[in-house]
Amino acid sequence: MRKPPIHKSFFNAFRGIFLMIKSERNFQIELLAFFINLSLIFYLKLSSIDTILILIVSFGVLIAEIFNTAIEKICDIVHPEFDRRIGFIKDIAAGAVILMAIVSVIAGILVYWKYVFN
Ligand SMILES: Nc1ncnc2c1ncn2[C@@H]1O[C@H](COP(=O)(O)OP(=O)(O)OP(=O)(O)O)[C@@H](O)[C@H]1O
């Protein structure tokens, strides 16, 4: 298959993000959390290192959600019927999102604590 031009590849990738925003409720909530973090970065005037930390964990949750959704969609296409193995795959993919969310909450508490209580 012929490779699409670079601008088309970018367009497809951004369309993917738009599709996530349009159709995935969890992604919408995580995006809201991302924008709240973005506001706090400016409002609390976070240092560069703290800003990078918050951005990495916030994007980490969004990226994990995208992969989780991709795995769910593949499962639904390849094997739409109920199957314990599909349940296992979907559960561990969801587990990755939860782990990333836990890390981001811990990082958020540790970073914001300094600015709010000092
Ligand atoms: N085909 C299947 N066979 C067995 N169990 C399934 C199947 N489809 C879904 N499940 C179970 O239901 C759960 C939810 O799956 P679903 O595809 O509805 O994802 P979702 O509700 O979008 O979840 P998430 O909140 O992780 O995005 C899975 O984690 C799995 O335990």
From CA 64, how far away is CA 97, in angstroms rounded? Answer: 5
Q: What does the pLDDT average to over 99-109?
A: 98
Evaluate whether residue 1 is within a structural domain: no
Evaluate whether residue 47 is within a structural domain: yes
pLDDT tens digit sequence for 43-81: 999 999 999 999 999 999 999 999 999 999 999 999 999
3 pLDDT more than 90: no
pLDDT band at 2 (very low <50, low <70, confident <90, very high): confident
Evaluate whether residue 48 is within a structural domain: yes
Domain that holds residue 55: 24-117
Kindly state if the Cβ of 86 falls inside 6 Å of ligand 1.
yes
- CATH number (domain holding residue 52): 1.10.287.3610
From CA 34, how far away is CA 45, in angstroms rounded? Answer: 16
Q: How many structural domains comprise the chain?
A: 1
Evaluate whether residue 16 is within a structural domain: no
Evaluate whether residue 2 is within a structural domain: no
Evaluate whether residue 6 is within a structural domain: no
Q: What is the ipTM of this complex?
A: 0.91
Res 61: pLDDT: 98
Kindly give the distance from the C-alpha atom of residue 64 to the centroid of ligand 1, in angstroms, as a whole number.
16
Evaluate whether residue 4 is within a structural domain: no
